[in-house]
Structure 1
Amino acid sequence: MTDLAPPAAFPTTSGRRKGYQPAAVDEFLSNARSAFEDEDATLTSDDIRAAAFPLVRHGYAVDAVDGALARIEDAFAQRERAAAMSRRGARAWVGASRALAQEILDRLARPARRRFRRVSPLRFGYRVDEVDLVAGRIARYLEAGEGLTIEQVRTVAFRMQLGGYDEAQVDAVLDAVVDVMQSVG
């Protein structure tokens, strides 16, 4: 008997490496496709950025899925930007983007080692020096247009340290940076 299942949408992992659970990824992508075709759907670029899937053996390769999700997020963000500009006008859209960029810059202008809330000395958080290095690069991008891509912001990874920066707060600022970068297109 032949297998009638469609071929895997992404390469799968082998050996001990884990990947995203294929059924969860396939379901999410199907819902995203439907939502993109239905302009009244509630799925947003933020929802796509926040998507998470269980890790399993013989799952979809994480890098391949993350790359596809980044492209889908960009498509949703572009549609959201166009809709917002037609509703509120380009001036209001630019003003909101500028305000968010200024809020990020205000956060990043804080003294080094004090840009984000710290976790308890007995808990792990993001390495302060690494986050501060990336924060400086983001600030230079926002202030002077120094080269930085959305992909670099999306894929930044920090090592952990006891008493480091609060992960949720740093991640929220990185998400806001992606929003600003997408809004300026």
Structure 2
Amino acid sequence: MTSPATPESPAPFPDAPRRTKGYEKRTVDDFLARAKDSFERPADESLTALDIRQVAFPLVRNGYAIASVDAALGRIEDAFAARERQSVVSRAGAREWVGRSKETAQVVLDRLSRPRGHRFDRVSVLRYGYRVDEVDLVSDKIAGYLEAGEPVTVEQVRSVAFRMQRGGYSETQVDAVLDAVVEVMLAVS
């Protein structure tokens, strides 16, 4: 787990390139310290893999390079997910863990099996949402992964980005499904 910089240690991440915003250093360092403390105490479940996946940092000049921080957060999320899996398996057994993962995967697959253009709620034509064609393309790939084991990595799902369009898909719904997919992928890895 990455630790925050101290006066005698180097910064944990490179700075964002000049004229490019990066993540606010203090906020990142504070969050990483909190994650480290939480992870080092096995009984502490105040921070979860989902919390790590959903953390957001302010963008500022002279911040940390976004890609470096995001890569570290991915590794930290993997560690928390493994700990959570182990906790459930030791308390309730492997069957319970597999059952939960299958249920989540089925809910996602049911959503993604809807017709193209109708998989998620749409925002009004006066608002911007995710581009429908791009989300449907990613949805098809994820459905292929869940149904037939077609190759898709956790990093591909974590890093997917969609352009915006008026009347597009609801960002909240799409993001929730992507989070569930990551959860399922981490559960079976």
TM-score (norm 2): 0.95
1:15-164 matches, within 5 Å, as 15-41=18-44, 42-164=46-168
- Superposed CA RMSD in Å reads 1.1
Cα deviation digits, residues 138-182 of structure 1 (max 9, x gap): 000000000000000000000000000000000000000000000
Runs of 4+ in 1 over 6 A off after TM superposition: none
Shift of 1:5: 4.8
Q: What is the aligned residue count?
A: 183
Q: For residue 144 of structure 1, what is the amino acid of its counterpart? A: A
Cα offset, 1:13, TM superposition:
1.6
Specify whether residues 161 and 71 from structure 1 end up closer, same or farther in structure 2 by C-alpha distance, changes over 3 A only. same
- Which 5+ residue runs of structure 2 have no aligned equivalent? 1-5
Q: Indicate the residue corresponding to 1:7 in structure 2.
A: 10
TM-score by length of 1: 0.97
Residue 171 of structure 1 is matched in structure 2 by 175
Which sections of structure 1, spanning at least 5 residues, go unmatched? none
Sequence identity percentage:
62
In the aligned structure 2, how far is the partner of 1:87 from the partner of 1:170? Answer: 32
Q: Please report how far the alpha carbon of residue 39 of structure 1 lies from its aligned counterpart in structure 2 after TM superposition.
A: 1.2
